[in-house]
A and B are shown apart, each in its own frame.
Chain A
Amino acid sequence: MGRVGTRAILPIWLQVFVGVEMTAVIVAAFLYVPPADGFASPECARIMIFHVPCAIIAVVAYIVSTVYAVLCLTRDEMASDVKSAASASLGFLFTALATVTGMIFARVEWGTAWNWDPRETSILMLVIIYAAYFALRGAIPNAANRARISAAYNILACLVMPFVMFVLPRISPGLHPSEVSLSPEYREALVGAMLGYVIIYVWMLRLAVRVREASLARRR
């Protein structure tokens, strides 16, 4: 495995930028964006600005984790395993946030916090995959075995996920709208939030990888 890096996790200017940018997004979400027409609670619809990017990052983090899992098995084992596990841990965090914000919105908009809507079910499946992945990692004592087996599980679970798409529509019709027309203010806030979340994800990923690498180096 390579040396632990010593350069800044993220360039200082980018750290400042995302701090200012996300502050602006939060302010905009409450003060700039108007109440949304067509929702049961026009004010509560503001939560979409934070919920949608969370859900997208949750899926992106999982895909990144799976890509590193493939690299773990085909190339350098341990370095890629560190990145795969780090991305998965962040994916779990964003999935939890997406679930909670989604449940708040569902309670207000559709009357109940959980409706087995296809999107809700797919995010729940992601939570379960992450939980099983970490349970498996935690139970394998040998580091090399843990890297290979958790990578194999990650890849297998990713291959099986498309079949969930065929099962979900049968359980209940979708409540999430398939087409949404947003006001220009909502669109700007959403794009701003998406940009901020992506930078935060990359920042947290690099930090998590650095911490794990330092921990492994210290153990050696």
Chain B
Amino acid sequence: MAGVRISNLAHEFDGREVFRSIDLAYDGSCLAVTGPNGSGKSTLLRILAGLLTPTSGEARFVVDGQDAPRERLRGMIGLAAPDVRLYAELSARENLRFLLRARGCGEIDERASSALERVGLCDRGDDRVGELSSGLRQRAALAAAIAHDPVILLLDEPSSNLDESGMRMLHGMIESRRASGLVIIATNDPDEAALASERLDLGSAR
């Protein structure tokens, strides 16, 4: 199981404050990060994923009761976000195989096929990502986020561009991931936020 610890976290872009004084200790299975546009939901997820260094404060994960060191986080975190895209020249399967190989995972082909099946992309998995519709690209991004079986899954607006079956797939994925790890969803969608056991509202953290 995993948890997240955030203490006095603040971030600004070139003097413009995004959020400040965020404190949180959460050991549950699913956390929703909500707030109006521009409140810093995506920024918070990027900080948690290690893609961004916060201006001040600290954010860390606790896995099985111990602080997860930064070097190991690469294999433990999966992120699906609008500004983290797959390579358009490669197929979804090739993207997954690249990510799995780079992370040093074993059984690459099996994991890639399993992830594609999970998101409903089996029959389009060998088409170039650039040729897929926006909804199928979103499914491919979700496959890339779960292919290496991460303990911590970070989802930024995951339901964007998904159709009804895609939404059912997403909800099923969240339920299965939260059973064995931690899912953090940044969303404005009330249905997605309702999946979470706790909510962090960034609208009040400014």
Chain A contacts to B: CB under 8 angstroms: 141-144, 219-220
Contacts and interface: CB of A to CB of B under 8 A. Distances in A.
Nearest to B55: A144
Interface of B: 13-15, 53
B165 to A, nearest CB: 40
B13 A142 contact: yes
Contacts of B14: 141-143
Contacts of A219: 15
Contacts of B53: 144
A219 B14 CA distance: 9
A219 B15 CA distance: 7
Nearest to A144: B53
B13 A220 contact: no
A141 B16 CA distance: 13
A90 to B, nearest CB: 25
A5 to B, nearest CB: 21
A38 B14 CA distance: 58
A1 to B, nearest CB: 11
A219 B13 CA distance: 12
Contacts of A143: 14
A143 B53 CA distance: 13
Contacts of B13: 142
A199 to B, nearest CB: 35
Nearest to B52: A144
Contacts of A142: 13-14
B20 to A, nearest CB: 13
A81 B13 CA distance: 17
Nearest to A146: B14
Nearest to A143: B14
A142 B16 CA distance: 11
A142 B14 CA distance: 6
B152 to A, nearest CB: 25
A2 B191 CA distance: 46
- Nearest first, the 7 A-B pairs at minimum CB distance are A219-B15, A220-B15, A143-B14, A142-B14, A142-B13, A141-B14, A144-B53
* Max chain B Cβ within 10 angstroms of own Cβ: one of A144, A219, A220: A144
A186 to B, nearest CB: 51
B42 to A, nearest CB: 16
A142 B13 CA distance: 7
Contacts of A141: 14
A220 B13 CA distance: 11
Nearest to A148: B53
7 contacts: A141-B14, A142-B13, A142-B14, A143-B14, A144-B53, A219-B15, A220-B15
